Amino acid sequence: MKTDKSDCEPNLSLEPRAGVVIIGAGFAGLEVARELGKAGVETTIIDRRNHHLFQPLLYQVATAALSAPDIAEPIRRILRRYRSVKVLLGDVDQIDTAARKVRLITGESVAYGRLVLASGAGQSYFGHDNWELWAPGLKTIDDARHIRSQVLLKFEQAERASDPKERHRLLSFAIIGGGPTGVELAGAIAELSRYTLARDFRVIDPAATTITLIEAGPRLLSAFDESLSAYAKERLESLGVLVRTGETVKDIGPCKIQVGDREEPVGLVVWAAGVAASPLARQLGDTDRVGRIVVDDTLAVTGHDDIFALGDAAAFIREDGTSLPGLAQVAKQQGTHLGRGLAARILSGEPLKPFHYESRGNTAIVGRHAAVFENGGFKVKGWLAWLAWAVIHIYLLVGFQHRFLVSMQWLWRYLTYDRGARLIGSQDEVRDVGTTLHRKS
């Protein structure tokens, strides 16, 4: 008997009683869901992935220091204690404010009474989207695994290369963007090549790897005090990283990069230069230059009393005219504030209160037991800042088991320089080693 394909596909009804719908299970979305769940408010949280990802440590997955499960947790597991919270795996592509529904790419829809947009941000290539093929960004676990595989593959390819020029190209890495992600990646790749891999190869010398960090602005870590930026540059250079500021990338290809008027051979480029908010924000009104929707002091979207935006999707303008940065601590505080406020409004009719951000400091790691930390006028650098960075990031991790495992792995790495997650991904990537070298010859 012939069976039509449609007979095998589930016919899901996603029309729950209109409660609160949250798009995105990042730091902001999860905190809203938790607070509403504690209050017993009917809530649906939708995310295109089934896990919550701790993005600040993605670079450690990309550089073989941690495994992906160390920094990710299933969303259903995080929220399973809250019986009023429903989790949906889906990708929202349209917000219909007139019908008060969000529509998924599958064609299904979910009705909402109140909507929370916490869909995060992706990479911005400043109008050069074709560069993404040759310069991957770092926003997801798949990104981190791909970069890790590519980094390790370049060493494997160089070990087999007979041409010294080709070997030098393969061992040349360029990181675009001198913010925290770029600085952390540069330092981690330098330590990986100079310490972890130093004795693993017989033909090449991993310590001779060229790592270049390129920043278009005048200095690294522009959000930090100039003294801390200078310290970060000095520390990276002590690891052998070539820091180039005030230079703009003009083009990126499979084997080369153009900086200014110069073309330079390169084995791998990693993009850490810009972010763009989820395109869903543009469906709600005018956005700022990075695609964030403007919100008022209660986190409500202008012109939509029952739609709210948080985290990287929102432009929250402070009294001094600046907007809040895209940090995990900002998203978490906004999520907790809005979750509690919505619960009180729904259950007892209380008005929403203005959100006030309390900074707990800004930090970035710049290599082994070295970091920078700044909170207002208080500035710390070196080992003490590194310890503060570690404590903050362990505290923010979801789940005790993650905190314990990551702490133990960091301690082991600190004592031995070893990195246990040095796995190359798919067999296709492994086959590419021989194929690439064959084409070169």
252: enclosing H helix or E strand: strand 249-252
CA 428/CA 426 separation, integer angstroms: 5
Residue in 335, 377, 361 with CA at minimum distance from that of residue 22: 335
Q: What is the amino acid identity at position 343?
A: A
> How would residue 19 be classed by pLDDT, with cut points 50, 70 and 90?
very high
Q: What is the pLDDT of residues 27-72, one digit of tens each?
A: 999 999 999 999 999 999 999 999 999 888 899 889 988 888 888 8
pLDDT at 16: 45
Per 3-state DSSP, the chain is made up of helix, strand and coil in percentages (nearest 5) of 40, 25, 35
Residue 34: both structure tokens together: 């938790």
Cα end-to-end distance, the chain, whole Å: 55
Order the strands of the 304-309 sheet from edge to edge.
Answer: 85-89, 43-47, 20-23, 114-117, 304-309, 300-301, 293-295, 314-316
pLDDT at 409: 66
Q: Say whether 184 is catalytic.
A: yes
> How would residue 421 be classed by pLDDT, with cut points 50, 70 and 90?
low
> How would residue 439 be classed by pLDDT, with cut points 50, 70 and 90?
very low
Q: Is the pLDDT of residue 429 over 90?
A: no
CA 366/CA 389 separation, integer angstroms: 11
Query: Mean pLDDT of all residues in the chain?
Result: 88
DSSP class per residue in 58-105? HHHHHTTSS-GGGGEEEHHHHHTT-TTEEEEE--EEEEETTTTEEEET
Q: Is the pTM of this model over 0.75?
A: yes
Q: Is the pLDDT of residue 109 over 70?
A: yes
Burial of 309 (0-12, 13-18, 19+ CB in 10 A): buried
Question: Mean of the pLDDT values across residues 353-361?
Answer: 93
Which is more confident, 16 or 158? 158
Q: Is the pLDDT of residue 10 over 70?
A: no
> How would residue 392 be classed by pLDDT, with cut points 50, 70 and 90?
confident
The one catalytic residue in 31, 156, 166, 184 is 184
